Structure 1
Amino acid sequence: MIKDTINSTARRIPAWLVYTVGILPAAWFLYEGLTGGSGADPIKALEHELGEFALKLLIVGLCITPLRKHLGVNLLKFRRAIGVMTFVYVVLHLLVWLVLDVQIVSQIWADIVKRPYITVGMVGFALMIPLALTSNNLSVRKLGVRWRKLHKLTYGIAFLGALHFVMVAKGIQLEPLLYMAVVLGLLALRIPKGTLQIAGRFTAKSVDN
């Protein structure tokens, strides 16, 4: 079966390879910016590409549990590495904005406060920090069940990341909305069936009334 082939291949691939391969797109984005391949505004292009790739990694991370639950494809060994690389890309995205784009310290705080899409992005980044700090075996052992609860912040982070992308876009654009739809779909898969049944009965009663 296909899932058995995928699982067998995944077992042979070391998790550290995710870090090695994962940083290559960042190097490519930087190369394009330096060589004029990113258009008239290479800084904005680099900022956008790093942020979008971080969102893609978030989505990949969210796919791992549904793949295992619904299709029997087990990629759990790569989830932590994908999460760490997501944080790396968010940090790079933020650094490009801070160092190359805004540059003026006073303006940074003004943008965070006055521009809602930046506020949303910064909240998402703040939520990622404790996850990055506890993405190690020692933290897993020390925190136990609390570690799993803490890392459910990923769901909120994914939503905020998609919302940030939608808000950044000028006008209604299809691509950010598609990202949001995918994130909402993956989050919906995590809602317990019992909750959906209760919500369905409640909705049905409301309609009848």
Structure 2
Amino acid sequence: MRYRLWRVAVFLAALVPPSLWVYQAWIFDLGPDPGKTLVDRLGLGALWLLLITLGMTPLQKLTGWGGWIAVRRQLGLWCFAYVVFHISAYAVFLLGLDLGQLAKDLSKRPYIIVGALAFFMLLVLAVTSNRYSIRKLGRRWKQLHRLVYLILGLALLHMLWVVRADMAEWAGYAIAGSALFALRLPVISRRLKRPVPGPAEKMTKRFQ
């Protein structure tokens, strides 16, 4: 497997934050409401990973290094894992596993519905992020995985409702997401430097 050390480094880097946050929650080092803090950090971490995942293709085009694409699928799956952790923490710490409370939250906080839509779309992408699905779906696989931009929009809308008091932070993520989307537009994508691929880069095209 090519880029083995790079893949391992990315895996460990993605594993560290949730492990640290869970430990901090365990020792009551996340402030007066550790459950909510943990939920918020996991959600923000998922958004970070989604943006980083979307940045892999532009980075590959700009640098010509196939390692960016080699870890794109792993980063996407880590994004999904963070979302699962985010939802699990919400269910345990904020709902107390009370489905009745969930019904009340849905009526008071519509951003939960938006987040749920993004989660189910991300679930579809995670389930089809394998070579079998790529072969089975063919061209439709790329069309399906363009849902990632709709997922990003829903995630930003979800965050907008949550952090209404801090628009500056939200605007930063919205600008980053808009820039990444713009880089995928054909008129801009064609202008990105695209070095002639060597043997290593050709081998990574199966991940694209």
TM-score, scaled relative to structure 1: 0.81
Does structure 1 conserve the Cα–Cα contact (< 8 Å) formed by 2:163 and 2:170? Answer: yes
Give the superposed CA RMSD: 1.9
Q: Bigger shift: 82-91 or 131-140?
A: 131-140
1:94 aligned residue? 87
Write the distance in 2 (CA, Å) between the matches of 1:134 and 1:113: 32
> Contact 2:115 / 2:158 at 8 angstroms: preserved in 1?
yes
Q: Per-residue deviation at 1:44?
A: 0.5
Q: Distance in 2 between matches of 1:16 and 1:156?
A: 29
Q: 1:57 Cα deviation (Å)? A: 0.3
Which stretch has the larger CA shift, 167-176 or 11-20? 11-20
Instruction: Give distance in 1, aligned partners of 2:39 and 2:173.
Output: 18
Matched length = 185
**Partner Cα separation in structure 2 for residue 129 and residue 113 of structure 1:** 24
Contact in 1 for aligned 2:51/2:177 (Cα 8 Å): yes
Structure 1 stretches of 5 or more lacking a match?
1-9, 195-209
2:78 aligned residue: 85
Report the more deviating stretch, 133-142 or 37-46.
133-142
1:161-197 alpha-carbon deviations (Å, 9 max, x no partner) = 1221121014243112211111111112222229xxx
> Could you tell me how far apart the structure 2 residues matched to 1:122 and 1:110 are?
15
| 1:112 positional shift | 2.8
2:31 aligned to 39, 44, 66, which one? 39
Aligned pairs (5 A) from 1:1-209: 11=3, 13-74=5-66, 75-103=68-96, 104-193=98-187
Which aligned segments of 4 or more residues in structure 1 are displaced greater than 6 angstroms? none
Corresponding letter in the other structure for 2:70 = K
Contact 1:33 1:42 in 2 (8 A): yes
- Give the gaps of 5 or more residues in structure 2: 189-208
The residue aligned with 2:192 is none
What is the rounded CA distance, in whole Å, between the counterparts of 1:30 and 1:114 in structure 2?
Answer: 28
Q: What CA deviation, in whole Å up to 9, does each residue of 1:91-146 have, x standing for no partner?
A: 00001111221122022133234422212111110111111111112111211111
Residue 197 of structure 2: aligned partner: none
Q: Which has the higher contact order (CA 8 A, sep 6+)?
A: 2
Equivalent-residue separation in structure 2 for 1:185 and 1:90 (angstroms) = 23
Provide closer, same or farther for how the CA distance between residues 16 and 41 of structure 1 changes in structure 2, counting only shifts above 3 A: same
- Aligned with 1:171: secondary structure? coil
* Identity within the alignment, %: 37
Greater displacement, 18-27 / 39-48: 18-27
Letter in 2 for 1:150: L
1:78 partner amino acid: V
